[in-house]
Amino acid sequence: MKQVDILGFNSVETANSGDDFELLHKGNPTGITLHVLGKHADVVKAYEKEQLKDYARKSSLAEKKGTQIEFQSALIERMDARTIETALIRVTGWTGAGDFDKEKLRIALGNNPEWIDEIIDFSASLGK
């Protein structure tokens, strides 16, 4: 039986390298290609870890104030939400829309929230 080097597989490397995909608008190509990191990229994991730390701090404060249940409900909703920030952290560049500008992308994602889902879904698919 042929032996395979188990260390020859590295989905984190693939996530850190990222890949390109074209944004769609109403199902049609936009001509804008984003470079997106995978969900297991170091920068994405660090961002998510910071978010969890922030929520833990806020939870502790809420508990001291006696508002723990309300905070936990809000936390679950926030963690579930696909926000502009969770998409922005994954995008490292673009082609087809001039010079890359995260602030322009932030506005564009606010105007086209379906792009947030596209970015996060594509990020999740990298390395699979």
The count of residues in the chain is 128
List Cβ neighbours of 36 (8 Å cut-off, separation of 6 or more): 18, 19, 20, 21, 90, 91, 92, 119, 122, 123, 126
- Can you give the residue range of the structural domain that contains 44? 6-125
Give the number of domains in the chain: 1
CA dihedral 34, 47, 41, 19 (to 10 degrees): 0
Indicate the SS3 state at residue 11: helix
Give per-residue pLDDT as tens, 9-58: 899 999 999 999 999 999 999 999 999 999 999 999 999 888 778 777 77
Note the pLDDT tens digit of each residue in 68-104.
656 556 665 555 456 899 999 999 999 999 999 999 9
Residue with structure tokens 């920068």?
A: 43
pLDDT digits (tens, 9 = 90+) for 49-60: 887 787 777 777
Rounded to a whole number of angstroms, the distance between the first and last alpha carbons of the chain is 25
Q: How much of the chain, in percent, has pLDDT values that exceed 70?
A: 86
The pLDDT value recorded for residue 76 is 59
Task: Please name the helix (run of DSSP H) or strand (run of DSSP E) that holds residue 19, with its range, or none.
Answer: strand 19-25
Answer whether residue 1 is part of any domain.
no
**104 domain residue, yes or no:** yes
> Is residue 78 assigned to a domain?
yes
User: Is 77 a member of any domain?
Assistant: yes
